Amino acid sequence: MNNIISINNLDHFYNKKIIFKNFSIDIEDGSWTTIVGPNSSGKTTLVYLLAGLIKNNNIKYYNIKDRKKDIGILFDNPRNNFITNTVKDELLLSFNYSNSSKKDFDDKIEDIIDLLKLENLLYKDPMTLSGGELQRVSLGLILIYNPKILIMDDAFSMISNKDKQDLIRVIKRYKKDNNMTIINFTDDLEESFGTNRLVIINKGKIVIDGKPKDVMKNDTMINRLGIEIPFIVDLSSKLKLYGLIDDIYFDEETLVNDIWK
């Protein structure tokens, strides 16, 4: 698989403080990478670097023609990003920045409305929406442009678990159909379940990098960083330690089936 972003030996300072020193990471095209780190890990700065909001010559993008359209960013609280009085007007406003014909754009809008179930929100003021509804609309405004990369910056931290799971299902479906690359910055290790890669960073360095199940086997190190191990992973790790099961699990049903097989 080819890379879509490469960072090689990056140095970055803020107010003379070293944030990154000789930092390197490659993001594969079409992958879903979860990046987790404690406070002061450099996570927020890395969001801005990967999104191109902070310029750096050590970052290379492949097959990215227009960063504003090819890279979408879903933040934790998008409320301040809305400027019109209805959700429909927000969606239609995007046409001014689109290279599509009116028909193609209208078709895309309809697809987005259907995908994210926005029908009942179209004539509502964005300022009256719940956190979960706001994130659905915000995601729709990003997907209109068919981005090649979606960066999520604690995007689910202010919404309910149900809304989070619903959004993740939608994103997985869209990713599958459009080969979108996803980079998810979060404090919640559960959001790495079912993704390609989990990267733990601390103080501007990669501490652990690999498949989520392999990374979470390093539970002692992860706990030392103040990152909470998901309950089901912690439980299955303990059961594995006592020889009751042979693997670490991400869902209760599979764990129970293994115990009782």
Flag the least confident range among 108-122, 144-158, 212-226, 234-248.
234-248
Give me the mean pLDDT over the 140-158 stretch.
93
pTM across the whole model: 0.91
The predicted structure's pLDDT at residue 1:
67
Whether 213 is covered by a domain: the verdict is yes
CA distance 86 to 213: 43
Give me the mean pLDDT over the 52-59 stretch.
89
Domain span at residue 56 reads: 3-229
Beta strand residue intervals within the chain, DSSP E? 3-14, 17-28, 32-36, 59-61, 71-74, 149-153, 181-186, 197-202, 205-210
Produce one character per residue of 164-188: b if its CB has 16 or more CB atoms within 10 Å, e if not: bebbbebbeebbeeeebbbbbbbbb
Amino acid at 166: D
Whether 134 is covered by a domain: the verdict is yes
In the predicted structure, residue 14 carries a pLDDT above the cut 90 = no
Whether 243 is covered by a domain: the verdict is no
The predicted structure's pLDDT at residue 156:
92
Return the closest-CA partner of residue 46 out of 151, 132, 122.
151
The predicted structure's pLDDT at residue 55:
87
Handedness of CA 98, 101, 103, 104 (dihedral sign): negative
Whether 237 is covered by a domain: the verdict is no
Please check whether residue 188 is in contact with residue 177, taking contact to mean a CB–CB distance below 8 angstroms. no
Flag the least confident range among 4-18, 32-46, 241-255.
241-255
The predicted structure's pLDDT at residue 8:
95
Whether 50 is covered by a domain: the verdict is yes
Whether 53 is covered by a domain: the verdict is yes
Distant-in-sequence, close-in-space partners of 124: CB < 8 Å, separation ≥ 6: 86, 87
CA distance 81 to 129: 13
Q: How many domains does the chain have?
A: 1
| pLDDT higher at 24 or 68 | 24
Please check whether residue 1 is in contact with residue 63, taking contact to mean a CB–CB distance below 8 angstroms. no
**Which CATH number belongs to the domain containing residue 214 in this structure?**
3.40.50.300
Please check whether residue 4 is in contact with residue 148, taking contact to mean a CB–CB distance below 8 angstroms. yes
Please check whether residue 198 is in contact with residue 206, taking contact to mean a CB–CB distance below 8 angstroms. no
| pLDDT higher at 203 or 16 | 203
The predicted structure's pLDDT at residue 198:
97
Return the closest-CA partner of residue 51 out of 37, 72, 35.
72
Flag the least confident range among 93-97, 156-160, 223-227.
93-97
CA distance 212 to 250: 10
Whether 246 is covered by a domain: the verdict is no
Whether 239 is covered by a domain: the verdict is no
In the predicted structure, residue 236 carries a pLDDT above the cut 80 = yes
